[in-house]
Structure 1
Amino acid sequence: MTDLNFPIYLLAWPFALTLAWMAGELIYRWIALPRIAVYALCGFVFGNLAAGDLPPSESDSFLLFANLAFGLMLFELGYRINLRWLRANPWIVVTSVVESVVTFVAVDTVATAFGTEPLSAALIAALAMATSPAGLLRVLNEQRSAGQVTERALHLSALNCAFGVFAFKVIVGIGVFQTSGDLAHAAASSLLVLVASSLLGALFGVAVPLWLRHVDNAGRDATLAFAIAVFLLVVVSHVFKLSPVLCALAFGIVARHRRIVLPPAQRNFGALGDLLSVLLFFVVASKLDWDHVTSGLLLGLLLVLVRALAKVLVCTVFARVSGISARKGALTGLALTPVAVFAVLLLEQAPRLGPDVFQSLAPLAAIALLLEVIGPLVTLCAVVFANETRTAREP
């Protein structure tokens, strides 16, 4: 590479991110399409046009920042989870368990029936269980949504993310054991990792509020302190090959119940969170390969429909016993559509834990791209139809 081309090369990512942000703002104003869907489309186009020109080192650096952005969103999701509400209404937990199991079985059955290898089908099903907190939170915060559908979607997302991580780690552990015969490695890739991740996140949830009380700046500096702690937590979890998802979720849940206030004005972590969200959705979509998307498009579309049907059906069936109407139950199921960011970032860890399964998951690439664009739009429609957006609540 010549010195003349080197400065232009360095500007590729910043210019692409800037253009994605500008496109997101314009299209949001023109047709109200969620900004994150536009960021994803721009990232997919950029990733496939520039794939041969970008070394892995630069792409990996941006992927680390994407994981940090995802960690902030997971922390915020955990921070908004009310464990007392779950204890008072255990049907929400029951709904999440049944919804996750039905989604797994349905997706795994369809994927296997269409010729997907058993291990790959199980991994796709495990990732399909979860709802991506990134897509869900950005849409809900952008619309300032509040109400029964919004709160249930947030709580169900936190629960099915935990179930999805558990299933994913166990399946990867089984794959490692089948490949290497190393039972200790397989065990470390599943249950032990989950326990350690939860404990580490809980430790941060206790330590950071204690520090804030000690310096007597809990109200003013809480947002900055939490952001720095999430960054540290995500990096530590990657170094020790733990689950950043569970670490950040546990951190947020424990911190909330330590009664440290995160100001409403700082949802999304202010301008820092907005910047990182552009990077998150752009970078994740740039990891999707065009060939994988096209080769798995038909099966991917079918699995998207099966996944959506499973979530809507279960949420509707359990709606009345959990205290809401069947209509709002169905809308809650629709709000759980986003999955792309969670799936791609979690799958990035699979080669480190064992078999290189990414090449055999073409339908997942198609699912990720479809739901990267459609998922936020479906969530938006769900909260609009539930009359829980800011515009709907204004007189």
Structure 2
Amino acid sequence: MTETMLSATDLVWPLAFALAWVLGELGHRFTGLPRVSIYALTGFFASYWQAGLLPRVSDSTMLLLANIAFGLILFEFGYRINLRWLRTNAWVGITGLFEALLTFSLVYVVAYGFGQTMLSSLLLAALAIPTSPVELMRVVNERRASGQVTERALHLSALNCFLAVFAFNLVVGLWTFESSGSVWGAVSNSLLVLAVSGALGALFGLAVPGLLRKLGKVSTDATLVFGLAVILLAALAQTLKVSPLLATLTFGCVARHRRVVFNQTQRNFGELGNLLTVLLFVVIGAGLSWARVYNGLWIGLALLAARFAGKLIGTAAFSRVSGTSWRKGVLTGVALSPMSVLVVLLLLQTRQMGVDLLDQLAPLSAAALVLAILGPLLVQWALKLAHETADDEEK
């Protein structure tokens, strides 16, 4: 009997992934909703906290698979970032810094005004900065989008991801010091995590292209080798309890500038990437509890309004001097809406460091659930209004 129950438990996750894929295809066909939104909703409703069909997302193996799935997308995302463009047009970088600082400030003021503690408000503000590259890249690839709004959104998203991980780890370090009084614990949970994560990503970004050139496989096996390297890097980062997110993003950025051509036909790393994307969004949805969402709903909506205002004002403020129109500046801000995957994974990873913040930040659960549905829709809407999707080009 016990063996039968264990076997049934082993089947639960694969069945959830299969169900999410079927519902995603049907939902996208009949409603036009992005597939990733439906994957996340499937995980949410089937989770331990709601229907009780899925176990808690605490298994390190499941978290590793989620990190690998996210890592593949972050690598591809980082590979698309052209740092020379940021140097050529410094106003884009200034826009990113201003937008991140404004978003942080507005969300902090709103959170503190709603009675959150200073540390909770700082954490909420840090986690409001990033745009999750997963939803953004998925919509860009599905819609085959290209153009000024698309490229600005991608580059600004990369910049505020780095800033968000930096700010988040600093606040986690402060949280650790406040709760334990350990200076070493605070440093190891903040600056050390950032330094080791970035160093690992840079090392892989230098070593893997060099290995490809040495083996003469640059034009034939680059996609396969990069995929294997991302899997190894994500596993190594999780084992060392550093940030797989920062490591894989850095890997992609450095690898691009080593001038190795990444096979553009293998977007999302082909079918493997599509499969892992389903897994990732189901796991993210399953990590959210309706009780937390309900308890933090009104504060969460207020935080979302503050975050949205920060993104729109921040991207529009320097739009003209950075070489685009006010309209495209605003649409870029709309395209920066998604945050769910990056935020939930960051919080799940703090458990690996011995700091459990997911239960203490109920407003974040509400914001993550709302944007799991609306975030990809807003990206899709912004790119269509900017006439940068393949459908618009065909017309």
Shorter chain as denominator, the TM-score bin is over 0.9
Per the normalisation by structure 2, the TM-score is: 0.97
* Aligned residue type for 2:55: L
The 1-side partners of 2:385 and 2:343 are apart by 27
**SS in structure 2 of the partner of residue 11 of structure 1:** helix
Q: Which residue of 1 aligns with 2:302?
A: 302
Q: How does 1:1-395 map to 2 (within 5 A)?
A: 2-47=2-47, 48-51=49-52, 54=55, 59-395=59-395
| 3-state SS in 1 of match to 2:166 | helix
Deviations 1:29-55 (A, max 9, x none): 112210000001101001134547636
1:306-346 per-position Cα deviation (integer Å, ceiling 9, x unaligned): 10111011111110011000000000000000000000000
Provide the TM-score with structure 1 as the length reference. Answer: 0.97
Quote how far apart the aligned CAs of 1:364 are. Answer: 0.4
Superposed CA offset, 1:344-389 (max 9, x none)? 0001122343543222100000011000110000000000000000
Conserved? CA contact 1:179–1:355, under 8 Å = no
Task: Give the stretch that moved more between structures: 140-149 or 44-53.
Answer: 44-53
Cα distance in 1 for partners of 2:352, 2:29 equals 41
Taking the aligned partners of 1:90 and 1:160, their CA distance within structure 2 comes to: 15
Shifted more, 274-283 versus 352-361: the winner is 352-361
**How far apart are the structure 2 equivalents of 1:56 and 1:261?**
36
Q: CA deviation at 1:179?
A: 1.5
In 1: Cα distance, 2:174 partner to 2:105 partner: 18
Whichever residue aligns with residue 27 of structure 2, its letter is: I
Q: Distance in 2 between matches of 1:232 and 1:42?
A: 29
Residue segments in structure 2 that go unaligned for 5+ positions in a row:
none
d(CA) in 2 for partners of 1:3 and 1:231?
31
Instruction: Indicate conservation of the 8 Å contact 1:172/1:354, yes or no.
Output: no
CA separation of 1:56/1:378 partners in 2, compared to 1, >3 Å: closer, same or farther?
Answer: closer
Which letter maps to 1:2?
A: T
Change (3 A) 1:53 1:97: closer
Q: Take 2:10 and 2:255, find their aligned partners in 1: how far apart are those partners?
A: 39
CA distance in structure 1 between the partners assigned to 2:379 and 2:191 by the alignment: 32
Letter in 2 for 1:335: A
- Compared with structure 1, are the counterparts of its residues 52 and 36 closer, same or farther at alpha carbon in structure 2 (3 Å cutoff)? closer
Return the offset for 1:11. 1.8
Structure 1: give runs of 5+ residues left out of the alignment: none
Deviations 1:77-104 (A, max 9, x none): 1100001101100111111111111111
1:218 partner SS? coil
Query: How many Å separate the matches in 2 of 1:193 and 1:55?
Result: 26
Quote the Cα distance in structure 2 between the aligned partners of 1:132 and 1:295: 24
Contact 1:120 1:357 in 2 (8 A): no
In the alignment, is the contact (CA less than 8 A) between 2:56 and 2:287 conserved in 1?
no
Structure-2 separation of matches of 1:4 and 1:357: 35
Tell me if structure 1 keeps the 8 A contact 2:12–2:53.
no
Partner AA of 1:288 in structure 2:
L
> In 2 relative to 1, CA 359–223 (structure 1 residues): closer, same or farther, beyond 3 Å?
same
CA RMSD of aligned residues (A): 1.5
Q: Secondary structure at the match of 1:137?
A: helix
- Separation of aligned partners in 1, 2:197 and 2:226: 18
Describe the superposition over 1:21-77 as per-residue Cα deviations: whole angstroms up to 9, x where unpaired: 0111111111221000000110100113454763666x4422221111001111111
Structure 1 letter corresponding to 2:183: L
**SS of residue in 1 equivalent to 2:81:** coil
**Alpha-carbon separation, structure 2, partners of 1:125 and 1:23:** 34
Alpha-carbon separation, structure 2, partners of 1:39 and 1:233: 26
